[in-house]
Amino acid sequence: MNLMINVDEKPVVNLLTSPGWEDYRLLDSGNGRKLEQFGPYRLIRPEAEAVWSPMMNTEEWEKAAAEFIPSAEENGGHWKLLKKLPDSWKLRYRNLTLKAMLSNSKQLGVFPEQACHWDWVTERIRSANQTMKVLNLFGYTGAISMACAAAGAKVTHLDASKKAVAWAKENQELSKVPLDRIRWILDDALKFVQRESRRGSLYEGVILDPPKFGRGPKGEVWEFYKGFPALLEACANVLSDRADFMLVTAYAVKASSVTLYNALSEVNRRRGGTVSVGEVCNCDNAGRLLSMAVYGRWMA
């Protein structure tokens, strides 16, 4: 599904979904929660955006194996096990195999709504008449790094969390991505990109999935609105003359897709190209879209 909204000839806002999944479904949503199928397991997670009523009956929700119970602290809470679950299990998407597991937060290591981005970068890389170098910042467990590398790119994957990088390496093994396709970096994103610029290390693609708030491996503080402009400018400085794309996804911030449109258009003004923006969504069994994040794409 790819819906578009165009108001008074201003930038089009795209609403993207990921229909290629077999191992994931958003079954239902409502009353501040969502009911999801991750492989063989049904889970319930909080979802503030779901301000409507569920469509499925209570019995279907009661089939869940676990529910994340939020606390008063932002992003805090715990998993309540309702049935027996393994420590981890596998999810497959096209040619990728990814590890899913209950984490200390409500996340499972896979953001299913981002599969539309995995498909997009795969298409960009495969259609390019070059071997692309791609920089993936805030790479987390690396699904999009796997997609890029499997498509033939040389990927530099950066995250500040040792646990996340270790998880991503497991996904590389599960997806059978050649070891020499991915370079692993544990560092602060801005400091690393600035060093890459001084070294003259350039990329044909840059991917950013910055959090609202975070810390680097040495305690460096990241706040989206304070750090994003400088980081985006630094990323533009490491794009090669053959650069093909930049992709930004923003969760848990009040930035709109229009914000990303303006930012990406400005840093790439001298390069030309086009910018598209919108929201990545999951679609439940009733056909209702649940927006998960805003995104922006620059293409040469």
The predicted structure's pLDDT at residue 104 = 86
Q: Are residues 92 and 165 in the same domain?
A: no
Last residue of a domain, one of 75, 100, 125: 100
How does 200-216 read in b/e, with b if 16+ C-beta sit within 10 Å? eebbbbbbbbbbbebeb
The CATH number of the domain where 48 resides is what?
Answer: 2.60.40.1180
CB 206 within 8 A of CB 231: no
Based on the domain organization, do 141 and 270 belong to the same domain? yes
Taking the chain (300 residues) in runs of 10, the rounded mean pLDDT of each run is 50 90 97 97 95 96 97 85 97 98 94 98 95 97 98 97 97 98 96 97 97 74 84 97 96 77 90 93 94 94
Same-domain status, 37 and 62: yes
* Residue where a domain terminates, one of 100, 120, 137: 100
Same domain flag for 279 and 174: yes
Contacts of 247 (CB under 8 A, 6+ apart): 117, 120, 121, 205, 206, 207, 208, 295, 296, 297, 298
Residue 73, C-beta contacts closer than 8 angstroms, at least 6 positions apart: none
**28 and 120 both lie in a single domain:** no
Whether 7 maps to a domain, the answer reads: no
Residues 82 and 199 in one domain: no
**Same domain? 87 vs 192:** no
Residues 150 and 236 in one domain: yes
Give the C-alpha separation, 191 to 204, whole Å: 19
Last residue of a domain, one of 80, 100, 120: 100
Predicted structure pTM score:
0.92
Domain that holds residue 189: 112-299
Shared-domain flag, residues 47 and 182: no
> Would you say 89 and 39 are in contact if contact means Cβ atoms under 8 Å apart?
yes
Asked if the structure places residue 56 within a domain, the reply is: yes
Number of domains in the chain: 2
Q: What is the CATH number of the domain that holds 212?
A: 3.40.50.150
Output DSSP code: residue 54.
-
Query: At 260, is the secondary structure helix, strand, or coil?
Result: helix
Answer yes or no: do 116 and 74 share one domain. Answer: no
Looking at the structure, tell me whether residues 232 and 276 fall in a common domain. Answer: yes
Given this model, what pLDDT does residue 62 score?
Answer: 97
Q: Do 90 and 221 lie in a common domain?
A: no
* Location of structure tokens 């692993």: 184
Please give the Cα distance from 66 to 288 (Å, whole number). 23
Structure-token match 């400088």, residue found? 230
Q: What is the pLDDT of residue 46?
A: 96
Q: Which of 276, 274, 196, 207 is nearest to 237 (CA)?
A: 196
